A and B are shown apart, each in its own frame.
Chain A
Amino acid sequence: MGSWDALATWLLRGCTYGGIMLATFAAMTLITAAAPGFVKRERDAARAGMRRCFLWGAVFLTNVALLCALLLLVDGLVGRVLALAVLVVALVVGLAGLSAIAAEVGRRVLMLAESYEPNALARLAVGTLVLFFTGVVPVLGWLVFAGALLTGVGAFLETAAEDYRPTRRPVEGALGVAAK
């Protein structure tokens, strides 16, 4: 009976992992469908500065973990609520970033299969499958997955910085516009 229990445990773990993968894929598909231009800009940002994105992603997630840990040390409901909110924000940022990285990975993997113009959904599906199955490999796979996630988070932040960059108003008369 022990071996059956072990088998059942492994099956349960496999199903849980598969469920997480499917849920992640669904969320990433939703994000890509809602904001295709944003995801494309994320991909461009990741391609233009992969190391910078990785580093910023690592700093951001470390910051989130430390903030949550600090908030959870606060007694009462407030700390838990704020920590939960921060964690949800990190989850959304992570999913949005991972969708860009999965699409890029999928594009490159499909190029190996001589498919040079795949549609966005195929790219995303293949990239998600490759990343999640790589994540099953102990240590190396975890590192690869973590690297993809951190790069994605960094790419999201780079793109967000572009959106929220404070723009300076041109000084009146500076560009030959006469002040009235």
Chain B
Amino acid sequence: MNHGCNALAGTLISALEEGRSGAVRDAASSHVAHCTSCRERAGAIVAMAEGLDPPIPALGPGFVARVMAEIQEHDAPPAPAGAYDRLPPFWQLGGAMALLVALSAMVLASPSGDGGWHARALTGFLDRALSFLAAVGEGVRGLWDTALPGQGLAILAGLALVATLLNVAFAVSAFRRRGREKTVE
């Protein structure tokens, strides 16, 4: 390694740092081509530079459009207001539930003939779902009755109570979170 090599080391580093090209790069390339020690040093410097600043992969097709779509989605104006964008007040929900219960009672209490016309037509799928849930209820009750005789119904009721309490806990948590978000806004 002679004085020229030492000078070239500094040139290589500064060329990498400043992104020089043209005459400097050509001079370095021509020296490295016939100097073994400089070739090794240049290779090490280039590898280190690539390790510190890895080459950016080419962008896929539609990348810009995809990013723009995401931005537009976030900056989009609020959706057009519909008639029911907020849920109705509780008294309206209560009225609807009362109507639903009354209609269900009328359908289920109507003279059914063989098989039940409501089971075949009006509430076909719901009736199947009810039968399935009744079977599930009986199954759970029977299972617990086997383990703890006479306690099946109480355990089923207990499970329903636990699930209801969990639902209430979720609702309270959502109320609090929404309240915090509003405060931050």
Contacts and interface: CB of A to CB of B under 8 A. Distances in A.
Interface of A: 33-40, 55-56, 59-60, 62-63, 65-70, 72-73, 77, 80-85, 87-89, 91, 107, 111, 114, 116-117, 157-158, 160-166
Interface residues of B, number: 51
Q: Which 10 A-B pairs have the closest CB atoms?
A: A69-B137, A116-B69, A37-B85, A161-B174, A63-B163, A66-B160, A72-B134, A35-B84, A36-B79, A40-B79
Interface string B59-103: 000100110110011000011111111110010000001001100
Contacts of B69: 111, 116-117
Interface of B: 62, 65-66, 68-69, 72-73, 78-87, 90, 97, 100-101, 104-105, 108-109, 123, 126, 129-130, 133-134, 136-138, 140-141, 153, 156-157, 159-160, 163-164, 166-167, 170-171, 174-175, 178-179
Contacts of B101: 81-82, 85
A73 B167 contact: no
A40 B77 CA distance: 11
Contacts of A88: 100, 104, 126
Given A56-B174, A70-B157, 19 more contacts: A33-B82, A38-B84, A40-B78, A59-B163, A59-B167, A63-B160, A63-B166, A72-B137, A73-B138, A84-B104, A84-B126, A85-B97, A85-B100, A87-B133, A88-B126, A91-B126, A117-B69, A161-B175, A162-B174
B86 A163 contact: yes
A164 B65 CA distance: 39
10 contacts: A37-B79, A37-B81, A38-B84, A59-B170, A70-B156, A72-B130, A73-B137, A77-B109, A80-B108, A87-B129
